[in-house]
A = this chain, B = another copy of it.
């Protein structure tokens, strides 16, 4: 049965440790394992009843791949070349397993997408490079064909998404232009004589780069280039389907300079490539022509008049990618905290009268880790809930059903994604780092897996929109809503995330009035304080921006001068608020027995996040004097203490299987040192004399 590994684990060592050191606070960990985790997994890990199938699929994938030697873990990192080979073979094998059943392929958009996301998550937690290859080369590509292309491109959709014969790529970023897509310099000039587009790269700075799958494997790329008609007009960026390699030989076609970008900090299984086009010709039909086309004679015909809108439609496709990143991030943080918490429960150090104490007993250690455990739970429920809302809107819209305020909802979702992807990916990055440090030297071993989790995850803070650049877009939207609310207009928030701005004067008037920590450990305190904060930061950002404009700066300059401490802080705060309100919405649907622990985790996440905003709370007059900081921090430490007995069970519920977790420090059996010993002793060559000993030996003048 799926999840059985959690139930069968005895973890005698872990239980012994925890109960040994604090006999009076002994937690019935074993009974919790039975009574608490099962519903926790079913209701929380997999969520609602109708999602059991997806959870089963995830475990089926994990169990299938665990039995396949091609997916066995390597004790030593293979060479970059070998990683690429293994990754490509694994991708092929996963396609062959056909986890994407015919039934799934033909199911509703929402169902299909959630299945894809589940497959992606399952694969990502085993080998992130495979899931990125798959996400870019199959899902993003075929999705883009559907939304940007027309019937004539459908065969590519079939061969990529259904038959899995084609692996594609996505060529947007150029060497000198990443975040600023407007200034891309690759051109696609229409030639009416031959009825072809001529793709050209003016120089190396305009070479497309960071194109996943392009370095060695893809046969096609979806290229974004400036479309130029015979009259010399530049119609802006458009998508083109461009053949790159002969699928039978994987040789690149003449007219292309295609190279592999070689080694990176992580995800080295992906063959990121760069490409330069030398007057490279493709048929006219390869333009993805849903929103605009060029006639055989070379006349540009568009259903939009503004090229930036066309681009906007094209880039809207990227939301799915960002949501995918957030889901993967939820898995990465779950793995990281599982390893660190299990290690903390089994590793003892210091104590009195030679009674050593588990690390988890130390308040400092709890404080370092439990906030991230809470974040792991809150983020997962947030993203699960948000994905559902997002998918249902897209589904309705695709089906031509009426969605109220569709364009407002799209703006709101874009604003939400643009700040949430930064919040999640940054938080997970620091979680992975903190978990590594909390496992001390042993955490620095490759076999802890914390290094690889971190290095592979790190790319996400940069790709699919650099976090610092991306989150600025949220600020634009928030300021627009606030501006409207201040001027008696409406707030366009169909998802109801900032409707409260209509009453901004009420929220900004709230003051801190608590005198006991209990009063802070409530959803009311946390949501109210967040609303105050968002209003305060909106006012501050707005005033700063207006002041810069008043000095004569342009909008662009004024915005650049309003980022630090204002805009940036505002978007981060809003993202935390989103996680909180979406979590609360899900929480209310959980069965009562789960609510206490989830509520504690919620409060910890909320207060732990507010701790980072205390300066603004003081600066803005929400409170004066010492009590706010004191009570808030006391409440955090109380929650750490309250969660100590449950945190091992919580990570058990979050954790993947031991095979997937792949950490010698985090196995569910709790036999920490036996597992380390096994890893050390079975390591290839561990006890051998260095093969190169002859080269380095020094014969001493006199034997010592």
Which residues of A does B touch, CB under 8 Å?
Answer: 75-77, 79-81, 84-85, 88-89, 92, 155-156, 159, 163-167, 173, 175-180, 183, 204-205, 209-210, 216-217, 219-220, 247-252, 257-266, 271, 274, 347-352, 354, 356, 362-364, 367-368, 436-437, 440-441, 443-447, 450-451, 455, 458-459, 461-463, 466-468, 554, 556-557, 560-561, 563-565, 568, 614-616, 618-621, 624-626, 628-630, 633, 637, 673, 676-677, 680-681, 683, 685-687, 689-693, 695-701, 703-704
With contacts A247-B698, A249-B689, A451-B455 known, what are 11 further pairs, Cβ within 8 A?
A217-B696, A250-B696, A258-B687, A265-B451, A362-B563, A364-B468, A367-B564, A368-B468, A437-B468, A618-B618, A621-B625
> Which listed residue, B259, B436, B467, touches A687 by the CB 8 Å rule?
B259
Contacts of A683 in B (CB 8 A): 259-260, 262
Q: Which of B88, B250, B263 contacts A77 (CB 8 A)?
A: B263
Whether B692 pairs with A85 at a CB distance below 8 angstroms is yes
* Residue numbers in B under 8 Å from A561 (CB-CB): 363
A696 touches B89 (CB 8 A): yes
Task: Pick the residue among B351, B563, B619 that contacts A364 (CB under 8 A).
Answer: B563
Known: A175-B676, A364-B564, A463-B441. A697 touches B248 (CB 8 A): yes
Say whether A700 contacts B262, CB under 8 Å. Answer: no
User: Closest Cβ of chain B: how far from A611's Cβ, in Å?
Assistant: 8
| Residues on B with beta carbons closer than 8 Å to the beta carbon of A220 | 704
Which chain B residues border A704 with CB–CB below 8 Å?
A: 155-156, 159, 165-166, 219-220, 247
Give CA–CA (A175, B209) in the complex, Å.
45
> Chain B residues with Cβ under 8 A from A178's Cβ?
349, 440-441
Q: List 5 A-B contacts (CB under 8 A).
A: A85-B690, A165-B701, A260-B683, A262-B446, A620-B626
CB neighbours (8 Å) of A444 from chain B are 264-266, 458-459, 462
Q: Does A250 lie within 8 Å of B690, measured CB to CB?
A: yes
In the assembled complex, the Cα of A156 lies from the Cα of B704 at a distance in Å of 8
Contact A564 B217 (CB under 8 A): no
Whole-angstrom CA separation of A367 from B564 in the bound complex? 7
In the complex, what residue of chain B is closest to A365 when comparing beta carbons? B468
Whether A76 lies near B85 (C-beta < 8 A) is no
How distant is the Cα of A685 from the Cα of B82 in the complex, in angstroms? 13
Q: Give Cα A450–Cα B263 distance, bound, in whole angstroms.
A: 13
Q: Are B441 and A210 within 8 A (Cβ)? A: yes
Nearest-CB residue, chain B, relative to A159: B704
Tell whether A259 pairs with B468 under 8 Å between CB atoms, given A265-B444, A696-B89. no
- The answer to whether A619 and B629 have CB atoms under 8 Å apart is yes
Task: Please state if A204 and B677 are interface contacts (CB–CB under 8 Å).
Answer: yes
In this complex, what residue of B is CB-closest to A173? Answer: B441
Q: Are A217 and B183 in contact (CB under 8 A)?
A: no
A89 contacts across to B, CB distance below 8 A: 695-696
Q: How far is the CB of A71 from chain B (nearest CB, A)?
A: 16
Once bound together, how far apart are the Cα atoms of A691 and B81, in whole Å?
A: 9
* Pairs A-B, 9 closest by C-beta atoms: A265-B451, A263-B446, A618-B618, A619-B629, A216-B690, A364-B563, A165-B700, A250-B693, A259-B686
Nearest B residue (CB) for A567: B364
Write out the residue numbers on chain B whose beta carbons fall within 8 Å of the beta carbon of A177.
349
Min CB gap A508→B, angstroms = 14
CB contacts (< 8 Å) of A362 on chain B: these are: 560, 563
- Which B residues are in CB contact (< 8 Å) with A248? 697, 699
A80/B77 contact (C-beta < 8 A), A177-B349, A692-B85, A700-B159 known: yes
* CB <8 Å contact, B79 and A76: yes
- In the bound complex, CA of A351 to CA of B560 (Å): 10
| A177, closest chain B residue (CB) | B349
Question: Is A88 touching B696 in the complex (CB atoms < 8 A)?
Answer: yes
Q: Which residues of B contact A568 (CB under 8 A)?
A: 364
Cβ of A181 to closest chain B Cβ, rounded Å: 10
Contacting A556 at CB < 8 Å: which of B257, B352, B677?
Answer: B352
In the bound complex, do residue A352 and residue B250 qualify as a contact, i.e. CB atoms below 8 Å apart?
no
The answer to whether B619 and A630 touch across the interface, beta carbons within 8 angstroms, is yes
Q: Which residue of B lies closest to A466 (CB)?
A: B440
Given contacts A79-B79, A166-B704, A696-B89, contact A265 B440 (CB under 8 A): no
Q: Which residues of B contact A441 (CB under 8 A)?
A: 173, 178, 209-210, 462-463
Contacts of A620 in B (CB 8 A): 626
Q: How far, in angstroms, from A401 to B169 measured CA to CA in the complex? A: 72
User: In the docked arrangement, what's the CA distance between A683 and B616, Å?
Assistant: 49
- Cβ-defined contact, B180 with A247, below 8 A: no
Q: Return the contact of A81 from the options B155, B455, B621, B685 (Cβ within 8 A).
A: B685
In the complex, how many angstroms separate the beta carbon of A261 from the nearest chain B beta carbon? 7
Q: How far does the Cβ of A689 sit from chain B's closest Cβ, in whole Å? A: 6
Closest Cβ of chain B to A610, distance in Å, is 11
State the CA gap A702–B262 with chains docked (Å).
Answer: 32
Q: Which chain B positions have C-beta within 8 A of A250?
A: 689-690, 693, 696-697
Query: Chain B residue with minimal CB distance to A673?
Result: B205
* Distance of A560 Cα from B357 Cα, bound (Å): 11
Q: Using Cβ atoms and an 8 Å threshold, which residues of chain B touch A180?
A: 349-350, 356
User: Which residues of the other chain, B, contact A249 by a CB distance below 8 angstroms?
Assistant: 689, 693, 697
Complex alpha-carbon distance, A88 and B690, angstroms: 11
Q: Shortest CB–CB separation between residue A130 and chain B, in angstroms?
A: 13
- Taken together as a complex, chains A and B put the C-alpha atoms of A455 and B625 apart, in Å, by 42
Bound complex: CA of A209 vs CA of B697, how far in Å? 23
The answer on a CB contact under 8 Å between A363 and B564 is yes
A25 to chain B, nearest CB (A): 13
Contact of A462 among B156, B440, B565, B615 (CB under 8 A): B440
Given A175-B673, A265-B444, A704-B155; A687-B80 close (CB under 8 Å): no
